[in-house]
């Protein structure tokens, strides 16, 4: 088990205060995110039918939790990994106009997740999606939306301080933008995670762009499914990719903490290009992909924002199990308790 135990760690909030603070953070953040990005809340599924192409593949190796549905002739359903494709379908179904969008509470099970201070079997995030015009499919608009989301994080951090004065604000006023290719060139001898730690420690909050494509060193910064984020379109900065991750420096764990994965979604050309690169062109015959290629789905930008991770950071917790109910190995629970880390 890969665990980090901060020296002399002591939580700033007891269990009752923590539960109250979690509700405050979630309520305040989602209301402000909705207003900032002009998003309408919708209800989301916990599972979808297997074989429709609606579920996300993440890095392409994670197994979805599946079960047979007796009333549907034992058709297989699978618990969602995220809702990137489902949200885009809903934008079209609801007839959302450009400039507006939707958000929802996404709950998932990732059975293959390696359990650490920041990784759990249970995933809870705000999944959001917004309709774009063709003129907004560019790097400048991506950066604008990232800055809007970051402003909501800043606002929430300040309100936590207002309610719990022992928790001082730490985030910088602005988020720093950097491309994954720039990181590869600046830190050629570091792993991708080590690069993330270095750049986030330096700036406090960063948005790392262009995740999914192969870099000049022949490696990927990280994996991305080929059919939602656009990681191959060329940008005004001379690199490729219209997507990225929001990371903030976690002083408790002394490492970067990914809060959000997001990006402008593929159009017809990017979808076909990325399916070919990934060697899965046969997916174009799946339900979601056929609709996109027929022009039945709107252009969009979207992403997910980790609820428990945001709470963990804002409440200065050392383990994600302090802010969410999940399953943990008994050995991990005992080790954490020995270091004043107590699971919910």
Instruction: Give, as one character, the DSSP assignment of residue 63.
Output: P
Measured between alpha carbons, how far is 250 from 325 in angstroms, rounded to an integer?
21
Asked whether 236 and 139 are in contact (CB, 8 A), the reply is yes
Q: How confident is the model at residue 113 (pLDDT cuts 50, 70, 90)?
A: confident
Catalytic residue among 261, 274, 307, 308: 261
What integer is the mean pLDDT of 261-288?
95
Active site residue 261: yes
129-172 residue pLDDT tens: 999 999 999 999 999 999 999 999 999 999 999 999 999 999 99
Catalytic residue among 30, 82, 125, 255: 125
The reply to whether CATH 3.10.560.10 applies to domain 15-45+82-338 is no
Catalytic residue among 56, 124, 182, 230: 56
Contacts by 306-309, CB closer than 8 A, 24 or more apart: 306/123, 306/124, 306/125, 306/258, 306/259, 306/260, 307/26, 307/105, 307/124, 307/125, 307/126, 308/120, 308/124, 309/118, 309/257, 309/258, 309/259
Q: How confident is the model at residue 59 (pLDDT cuts 50, 70, 90)?
A: low
Phi, psi dihedral angles at 259 (to 5 degrees): -100, -35
Active site residue 110: yes
Q: Given its phi and psi angles, is residue 143 left (phi above 0), alpha (psi -120 to 50 degrees) or beta?
A: alpha
Domain range summary for the chain, segments of one domain joined by +: 15-45+82-338
User: What is the reported pTM?
Assistant: 0.94
Q: Is pLDDT at 109 greater than 70 in this prediction?
A: yes
- What one-character-per-residue DSSP string does 104-150 give? EEEEEE-TTPPPBSS--SEEEEEEEEEE--GGG-SHHHHHHHHHHHH
Measured between alpha carbons, how far is 163 from 149 in angstroms, rounded to an integer?
21
Length of the chain: 344
Q: Any idea what the Cα angle at residue 287 is, between residues 37 and 66, rounded to 5°? A: 90
Q: Any idea what the Cα angle at residue 181 is, between residues 179 and 185, rounded to 5°? A: 120
Residue 56's pLDDT is what? Answer: 67
Catalytic residue among 88, 110, 137, 309: 110
- Reported in sequence order, the residue ranges of the chain that DSSP labels E, i.e. its strands, are 39-41, 47-49, 66-69, 75-79, 101-109, 122-131, 176-179, 205-209, 243-250, 255-264, 300-306
Q: How confident is the model at residue 81 (pLDDT cuts 50, 70, 90)?
A: confident
Residue 7's pLDDT is what? Answer: 94
Residue 1's pLDDT is what? Answer: 58
Active site residue 307: no
Q: Is pLDDT at 60 greater than 60 in this prediction?
A: no
The overall average pLDDT reported for the chain is 94
């Amino acid at each position: 088990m890969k665990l980090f135990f901060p020296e002399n760690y002591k939580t700033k909030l007891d269990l009752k205060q923590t539960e109250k603070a979690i509700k405050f953070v979630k309520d305040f953040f989602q209301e402000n995110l909705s207003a900032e990005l002009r998003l309408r809340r919708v209800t989301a599924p916990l599972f979808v039918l297997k074989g429709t192409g609606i579920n996300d593949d993440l890095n392409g190796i994670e197994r979805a939790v599946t079960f047979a549905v007796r009333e549907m002739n034992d058709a297989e359903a699978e618990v969602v990994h995220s809702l990137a494709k489902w949200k885009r379908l809903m934008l079209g179904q609801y007839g959302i106009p450009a400039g507006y969008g939707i958000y929802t509470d996404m709950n998932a099970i990732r059975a293959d997740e390696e359990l650490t201070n920041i990784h759990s079997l249970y995933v809870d995030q705000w999944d959001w999606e917004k309709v774009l015009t063709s003129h907004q499919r560019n790097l400048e608009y991506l950066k604008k939306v990232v800055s809007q989301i970051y402003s909501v994080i800043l606002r929430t951090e300040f309100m936590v301080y207002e309610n719990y004065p022992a928790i001082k604000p730490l985030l910088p006023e602005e988020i720093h933008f950097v491309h994954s290719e720039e990181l590869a060139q600046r830190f050629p001898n570091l792993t991708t995670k080590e690069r993330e730690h270095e750049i986030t420690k330096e700036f406090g909050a960063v948005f790392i762009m262009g995740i999914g494509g192969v870099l000049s060193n022949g490696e990927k910064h990280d994996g991305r499914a080929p059919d939602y984020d656009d990681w191959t379109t060329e940008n005004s900065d001379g690199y490729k990719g219209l997507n990225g991750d929001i990371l903030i420096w976690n002083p408790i764990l002394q490492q970067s903490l990914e809060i959000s994965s997001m990006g402008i979604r593929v159009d017809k050309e990017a979808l076909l290009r990325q399916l070919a690169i990934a060697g899965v062109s046969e997916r174009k015959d799946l339900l979601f992909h056929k609709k996109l290629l027929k022009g039945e789905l709107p252009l969009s930008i979207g992403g997910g924002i980790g609820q428990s991770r945001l709470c963990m950071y804002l409440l200065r917790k050392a383990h994600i199990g302090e802010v969410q109910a999940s399953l943990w190995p008994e050995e991990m629970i005992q080790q954490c308790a020995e270091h004043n880390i107590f699971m919910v």
